[in-house]
Amino acid sequence: MAGHQFADSPEGLAPGDSLLTTALICRSEHILSCSPAVLQTLPPPMQERHDRLRRSIDRHSFLAARIAAKLLWGWALGRDPAECQLQQQCPTCGGPHGRPRFAANGALTVSWSHSQDLVGVIVGPGCVAIDVESGSTDPPPTLTRGRTPQERLDNWLLAECWTKAGYCELDEALSLIRRSVSPPPKPGIPDPRRLHLCHLAWTGARALLLSQEPCTLMSDPSSLLTTSSF
């Protein structure tokens, strides 16, 4: 069988070496078109959620985010991403939604975001969070303050990232932003001022990443995976 071959982790990390924080932001279609079928299968509860989505753009982003998470997991650990097992279980109702996590390798955490046909995923040790918003997003001024659409969008990105990092709930994050204050420090989560912020202007979209360690940002999923030729 002419299989696929997965790229080696950068510098060939040995066990015990520090794990890298890597993010991938690109179009869903790019991830779907270069990923082998083995990465496109979802556990039953995720598959059911996927199948309930009405718009194909949402189904594609849903699947692409999970594939990207597997690719980044494999990249960080130097392992076949097909071995990666993702879980989502809501702490409130037990349903198959809520913050995603890796079933094994507790050292790595994952966060993802999609907006229209864009997907952003970040994987790394400790606290990670990502939010991606397409250029057409304009959050209501009453929620996010900000004089211009760009300021409002940046405030929205920050609120989403604080929420995903676990500082506070979204309404509290927006309230803090309207008062120009950072969330209070929380045990187990680094001081919000120490987190690494990275904006990128890319086809009108904006993204914000929070990570405990410096993050490498990638935009080409095929560099996480190479397909062998016959």
Give me the residues that bind Zn ion (CB under 5 A), please: 90, 92-93, 95
- Name the residue nearer to Zn ion (CB basis): 98 or 149: 98
8-state DSSP, 92: T
Q: Which amino acid is at 33?
A: S
Nearest residue to Zn ion, using CB? 90
The nearest distance, CB 89 to Zn ion, in angstroms, is 9
The nearest distance, CB 163 to Zn ion, in angstroms, is 15
The nearest distance, CB 58 to Zn ion, in angstroms, is 19
- Name the residue nearer to Zn ion (CB basis): 96 or 146: 96
- Name the residue nearer to Zn ion (CB basis): 95 or 204: 95
- Name the residue nearer to Zn ion (CB basis): 90 or 107: 90
Per the CB < 8 A criterion, the answer to whether 101 and 87 are in contact is yes
Q: Which amino acid is at 53?
A: L
The nearest distance, CB 190 to Zn ion, in angstroms, is 27
Residue 199: other Cβ atoms inside 10 A:
11
- Name the residue nearer to Zn ion (CB basis): 18 or 92: 92
d(CA 195, CA 162): 10
d(CA 72, CA 128): 13
- Name the residue nearer to Zn ion (CB basis): 12 or 94: 94
* Residue 134 CA from chain centroid, whole number: 15
8-state DSSP, 157: H
The nearest distance, CB 180 to Zn ion, in angstroms, is 32
The nearest distance, CB 88 to Zn ion, in angstroms, is 10
Orientation of helix 149-165 relative to helix 170-178, angle to 10°:
130
Q: What is the dihedral of CA 131, 205, 21, 212, to 10 degrees?
A: -50
